[in-house]
Amino acid sequence: MSDDRPPVCNYDGSDYQTSFWEQGGRAYEDQVEAIALRRLLPPSGNLLLEIGAGAGRNTPRYQGFERVVLLDYSYTQLQQAQSRLGSSARFIYVAADAYRLPFVPALFEAATMIRTLHHMADAPRVLHQVRKVLQPGAVFILEYANKQNLKAVLRYALRRQSWSPFTLEPVEFAALNFDFHPRAVREWLQTAGFKIARQLTVSHYRMETLKRWVPLKLLVAMDSAAQLTGDWWQLSPSVFVKAQASDDGSLAKPGEFFCCPECGGYPLKEETQAQVCPNCSRRWLLRDGIYDFREAG
């Protein structure tokens, strides 16, 4: 099972939250994402899975949910999230590989994955994993980077860019950084067992000159209006999709939560500082409030 694992993009030790978001001049991107999320998220619910939660930038936006599982491959990003959000029972911190989600099937009522598919070499595989841990009819909000964005289309037309923005295959413009074609993402979602409920195009005006000269509030309002054309065409660098899981299948049994990412066994036996697999006996450790499902302890 371990031999065919796709490579994982690991933010361990990264100051991404500070350098990219807080000091990186990305107030515009942050605010337009918040608007898209508000439009797509169910107003309330019990349990939400946030895949690629990082340092928890978006987590406070999931107020309507009683409990949120923050999942990230990077342990240090989760530590940052923990110090920002605190260790209340509302938040469950899980370090794990999105290709092998450590949860029993049909557990979550909703999931989000924002700026994360971007790092996935095998996107369809991750989407199948997500569908598996979602309840029938659950909502999945997926953000992806769009290769068919206006800038790429113009650059291609002017022959300043070799790859075509119109073909379905992903483009890896830097190591483990992928942009996707909207139609390819829709097809993968449908194959994984989702139907597309709504699309919003986001960050239309992500250009340094505009961000410098147009007041932030105005730029955000302009993007907010443009988002609503997302079902008709997708030419923005970022796209949000609201997908809905198919209605088939039954719910996870009450009390069952984690499953073994290595062999798929569950329910795991809970010890004070570990979850133990009933099948392969691997021990998955709980360290300082973070469940670590990357390597068995």
Residue nearer to Zn ion on the CB measure, 35 or 263:
263
CB of 271 to Zn ion, least distance (A): 15
Let me know: does 42 contact 139? Beta carbons within 8 Å: yes
Residue nearer to Zn ion on the CB measure, 197 or 285:
285
User: DSSP string spanning 99-116?
Assistant: TS--B-TT-EEEEEE-S-
Question: Each residue of 14-27: b (16+ CB within 10 Å) or e?
Answer: bebbeebbeeeeee
Q: Which two tokens stand for residue 78?
A: 């989760």
Residue nearer to Zn ion on the CB measure, 14 or 279:
279
Binding track, positions 271-290, relative to Zn ion; x by CB under 5 A: ------x-xx-x--------
Select from 51, 144, 56 the least CA-distant residue to 102.
51
Contacting residue, 265, 267, 276, 283, with Zn ion by CB under 5 A:
265
Question: Could you tell me how far CA 208 lies from the centroid of its own chain?
Answer: 26
CB of 256 to Zn ion, least distance (A): 15
Give ∠ CA 275-277-283 in degrees, rounded to 5.
Answer: 50
- The residues pairing with 51 across neighbouring beta strands, listed in sequence order, are 71, 113
CB of 261 to Zn ion, least distance (A): 8
Residue nearer to Zn ion on the CB measure, 62 or 266:
266
Choose the binding region for Zn ion from 90-98, 162-170, 187-195, 255-263 (rule: CB under 5 A): 255-263
Select from 97, 124, 107 the least CA-distant residue to 193.
124
Burial (CB count within 10 angstroms: exposed 0-12, middle 13-18, buried 19+), residue 237:
buried
Residue nearer to Zn ion on the CB measure, 126 or 277:
277
Q: Which two tokens stand for residue 237?
A: 């660098």
CB of 182 to Zn ion, least distance (A): 37
Binding of Zn ion by 96 (CB under 5 A):
no
Size of the site for Zn ion (CB under 5 A): 8
Residue nearer to Zn ion on the CB measure, 221 or 296:
296
Binding of Zn ion by 263 (CB under 5 A):
yes
Residue nearer to Zn ion on the CB measure, 99 or 205:
99
263: how many CB neighbours lie within 10 A of its CB? 14
Binding of Zn ion by 259 (CB under 5 A):
no
Contacting residue, 185, 260, 268, 290, with Zn ion by CB under 5 A:
260
Let me know: does 79 contact 290? Beta carbons within 8 Å: yes
> What is the rounded distance in angstroms from the CA atom of residue 126 to the CA atom of residue 136?
18
Which 161-220 positions form the footprint of Zn ion (CB under 5 A)? Answer: none
Residue nearer to Zn ion on the CB measure, 185 or 274:
274
CB of 281 to Zn ion, least distance (A): 7
> What is the rounded distance in angstroms from the CA atom of residue 14 to the CA atom of residue 170?
25
Choose the binding region for Zn ion from 9-17, 190-198, 259-267, 284-292 (rule: CB under 5 A): 259-267
User: Interface residues with Zn ion (CB under 5 A)?
Assistant: 260, 262-263, 265, 277, 279-280, 282
